[in-house]
Structure 1
Amino acid sequence: MTPVLTAVLAELPPVSLEELVGTAALLTRVDRKYVLPPDAAAAVLGRLPGARVLAIGGQRGFGYDSVYVDTPGLAGFHLAARGRRRRFKVRQRTYTDAGESWVEVKTRGPRGATVKERVAGDDVAGARRFVDDVLVRSGIDLLGDLVPVLGTRYTRTTLLLDTARVTVDADLVWRSPSGGLLPLVDRVVVETKSGSAPSTADRLLWRAGHRPARISKYGTGLAALHPELPRNRWHATLTRHLATHTTETS
């Protein structure tokens, strides 16, 4: 995150976690994502009327560490790569500053809305039953094991705008179980989360010439780390914004 973007976010008035959740929990929502240079993001976010930023104990950026799981044959990835309506993502997300961990399942609702359900991640057997139940209710028959296939880490800043949310993810790094690392260099991911209508943030982004990008932290990251996988759905994002090599860690 550049000094310009940091300064813009620091100038916004704060909002508490309780008010943010009470006003815009948005577990069923429409997500629009934009991949932008940090200063371009700052130019738009600094013009958002009435925006407030989540602050907890004076802190405004929070670490997220996620591990995505899928079947050994990557059923969830291939459903997303083919644009199937009945698709899913399963991850264990850790909020590194708070030390909390949740198992989260994302499915698709009516009109392309994202539906997120979650349960505390400390009971492994209970979490797997929860995952199976969510998928069955969504019409997805998932059989067999789920194994770790991708990790992500980044720092997130969350804004409240009326009843919509805007998140800014900086310093995103993907990692493979084998130790390969792929950073998103000189870019932030701005995501709007709202009802069916575009938010004020979307309209300002469009006026500034920015359009939603096809980026999934799971699908795009896995395709980037494994070039043998289908990538047409994310080709534009991969070629415009991602480095072409990974680094191996010991």
Structure 2
Amino acid sequence: MKKTLEHIINKIEPISLDEMDAVSLMKRTDTKFVIHEKDLTLLLENIQNQYKILEINENRVLTYSSLYFDTPSKKFYNDHHNKKVNRAKVRMRKYVESNLCFLEIKQKDGKGKTKKTRITIDDFETELSNNSLEFIQNTMQSKLDLEPIIWNAFNRITLVNKTMKERLTIDLNLSFKIKDSLKNYHNLVIIELKQERFNRNSPVVQQLKLKHINPYKLSKYCIGMISIYDDLKYNRFKQKLIKINKLIA
């Protein structure tokens, strides 16, 4: 990490995981932006007084590891690619510094709202346990043949607005892998604003607007899938991949 970025991060007022529960926003509107890592320090410097930063065991840049599941026909990926309004993702996510692991289901409805449902698990399961299968079936109201489809890892900075009900996640050092296939996205930063409804008065939205950076719909899962699998239909995401590669070149 660049020293200047670390310096800015350490200046932001901390917030604990327990304190952050008030802004959990399990049902929310997500708005994403993409920037080059070189622009992150200045952005954080400009908004640092409006936010607190999540700190766990004295760590402010946290490590996340995820394992996504899909059907053999890659239903979840294809639903997203084919613009299906009601769609879902199933993943296991480990929050490394806090040593917590969850089985999570993210469901998007026709109004653009995202609902996240999760249960605690001991660790990653490449073979889904009966408890996990039951949770997935009850949550999704259907029985699916699921298998591990892609691993994902990244570092995350989480900010909580001091006055507005919003959280901000900043993901960097993104990588994907399955078996011997690996793809890294160096220099790419994905910013995700989580609110009850999109509010343009958010400090980060205002700062990005000054740089002519607009909201950009992007799925880390889908970008990872087309980076690892060469047999997927991806015409809907082709321009997104071109934009990302151009941004981080």
TM-score above 0.5:
yes
After superposition, residues 182-201 of structure 1 pair within 5 angstroms as: 182-198=183-199, 199-201=202-204
More deviation, 56-65/202-211: 202-211
2:129 equivalent to 1:127:
no
Give the aligned residue type for 2:133: R
Report if aligned partners of 1:62, 1:157 keep a CA contact under 8 Å in 2.
yes
Tell me the equivalent position of 1:228: 231
- Pairwise CA RMSD: 1.8
The runs of at least 4 aligned residues of structure 1 exceeding 6 Å deviation read none
Where 2:38 maps in the other structure, the secondary structure is helix
Which deviations, in whole Å up to 9, do the C-alpha atoms of 1:144-184 show, x marking residues without a partner? 421001010111110001311111111111112x2211001
Segments of structure 2 that go 5 or more residues without pairing to the other structure are 123-127
Segments of structure 1 that go 5 or more residues without pairing to the other structure are 244-250
2:240 equivalent to 1:241:
no
Q: Distance in 1 between matches of 2:188 and 2:32?
A: 12
Tell me the equivalent position of 2:208: 205
TM-score by length of 1: 0.88
Tell me the equivalent position of 1:113: 113
Report if aligned partners of 1:85, 1:108 keep a CA contact under 8 Å in 2.
yes
Q: Distance in 2 between matches of 1:172 and 1:145?
A: 28
Tell me the equivalent position of 1:159: 159
Report if aligned partners of 1:4, 1:39 keep a CA contact under 8 Å in 2.
no
Identity %: 25
With over 3 angstroms needed to count, the CA separation of the structure-2 counterparts of 1:5 and 1:233, relative to structure 1, is farther
Report if aligned partners of 1:5, 1:38 keep a CA contact under 8 Å in 2.
no
Report if aligned partners of 2:85, 2:110 keep a CA contact under 8 Å in 1.
no
Report if aligned partners of 2:31, 2:198 keep a CA contact under 8 Å in 1.
no
Which deviations, in whole Å up to 9, do the C-alpha atoms of 1:45-91 show, x marking residues without a partner? 22224211011232111111100001111011100111111111000
Where 1:218 maps in the other structure, the secondary structure is helix
Report if aligned partners of 1:68, 1:148 keep a CA contact under 8 Å in 2.
yes
Tell me the equivalent position of 2:35: 36
TM-score by length of 2: 0.88
Report if aligned partners of 1:30, 1:112 keep a CA contact under 8 Å in 2.
yes
